[in-house]
Amino acid sequence: MAEITQPTGTWTFDGDTLRIVPGHGRGVHALRTALGEIAVPLEAVAGVSHETGKKSGKLRLRLRGGADPLTQATGGWLPDAADPYRLEVDRDRAGIADYLADAVRDALTIEQVPDTATDRYLLPGPSVPLTLHGSDGEMVFDGEEVRISWNWAAEESKKATGFRSVRLGEVAAVKWSPPRLESGYLRLLPRQGPGPGKPSHDPNCVVLWGWRPAREIAESALLAAAVTARLPHPSAAVEPPAAAGVLDKPAEGGAAGGGADPDTVLRRLRELGELHRSGVLTDEEFATAKKAMIDRL
């Protein structure tokens, strides 16, 4: 067991799972507080490092591509203060940080965990419902659809579209940009229709002006991750046949026909439906794969 506790959080590694618990107080970013405890399985980890400095250092956890919907949705744009996979380390705790990093690296070597991209999410998305209070409107996601409404600050072109309800099946991906010196946004990229225009005029996009940056980052990143987790995994878009085959494979550590996590099975069923509707899977392939997934329940 390796553990390090700092004002912004605690990391504990037991050989199989790295548990990340946020700290308390004003110095802890709102996103870390909202995420709560994160259990990162060893198979989701690509690497870990401890970077030392004159006054303090940083523990950095690097996840495998496609393993985490939050990392996938935010695309590396999270500021350090909001990133749950980074921990500020006091200089007098450098030895403990090195010990934890070595323990994780040794476990990766022993278990021969690859650092390549995954074919499924190994961490869950945030729980729903979630609400984003943007600068020109509001997004609410209940797990099945995103409801969008506008306020007085929205452009007239957005107001003209009125209240919108966008179902998951209509969404191809999510694009997120945090509020910085310029406006950020959370945008739903549609499967069909014209390409997106400027964020301020796109009816599928809520703008973030950075008036309350910590809250806007927390709310928008959580909602983006929650939607991303419920869309087909990126590997399905890159290599549809291989991704479809993965859906038929028993969950690791279990046998086909039982023992699968219900939430995972339901997410796979939604992915199957998307592949079927897009023409990747034939009717027969869809029926066979669907039966195999339902049998696991």
User: pLDDT tens, 225-234?
Assistant: 999 999 999 9
Q: Mean pLDDT highest for which of 17-31, 183-197, 227-241?
A: 17-31
DSSP code, position 264 = H
Q: Quote the tokens at residue 21.
A: 């618990």
Q: Please, how many CA atoms are within 13 Å of residue 100, restricted to the half-sphere of its CB?
A: 27
Q: In angstroms, how far apart are the furthest CA atoms of the chain?
A: 62
pLDDT of residue 256: 35
Q: What is the mean pLDDT of the chain?
A: 86
pLDDT of residue 26: 85
Strand partners, 147: 140, 165
Is pLDDT of 258 > 50? no
Q: Quote the tokens at residue 229.
A: 């987790």
Is pLDDT of 72 > 70? yes
CA distance 259 to 277: 28
Q: Quote the tokens at residue 120.
A: 């499924």
123: Cβ contacts below 8 Å, ≥ 6 apart: 38, 39, 40, 41, 44, 67, 68, 69, 70
Cβ count within 10 A of residue 263 = 11
CA distance 122 to 1: 22
Cβ count within 10 A of residue 16 = 11
Local confidence band at 54 (pLDDT 50, 70, 90 cut-offs) = confident
pLDDT of residue 236: 81
Global confidence as pTM: 0.77
Query: Cis bond leading into 178, ω under 30°?
Result: no
Cβ atoms of residues 129 and 145 within 8 Å: no
CA distance 289 to 285: 6
